[in-house]
Amino acid sequence: MTEPAMFWTILIGLTVIGFGVIVVMVIRDVREPRADLPLELAHTPHPATARMYQPGRHLIWTHTAPPRPFTVEQAHQVMRQHLECAPAQCGRKREARRTLTEAGVMKPRTRQRVRAGS
């Protein structure tokens, strides 16, 4: 067998073995879910929202705006999840805030101007 043919044979063999190992791991996790795995988030949640995180419960933690408007209940949940986020940087919190404002549930705080020299 030539050297390039042997290289490709070994590479294909290792790829097949690696794919088989991944398939076995995925099938095992699907059949026997583990509740002791730690929950991985993009950042540590605020202590007030820590009760929403339970072992074995996986949440999608994203800051992008949703494709369609939130319901009022969804907006409340997003506001609790994104307590530490600034609406200017977090599209999800911004849209949740807009939903609650339009529903009349939340009234945005107005800033007072500070006069120079006062």
How would DSSP label each residue in 4-15? Answer: HHHHHHHHHHHH
Place of tokens 């994203």: 62
pLDDT at residue 41, as a whole number: 45
61 neighbors 45 (Cβ within 8 angstroms): no
Q: Which residue has the tokens 């929403």?
A: 52
| pLDDT on residue 17 | 95
- Report the Cα 24 to chain-centroid distance in Å: 26
Q: What is the pLDDT of residues 90-116, one digit of tens each?
A: 889 999 999 999 999 988 777 666 666
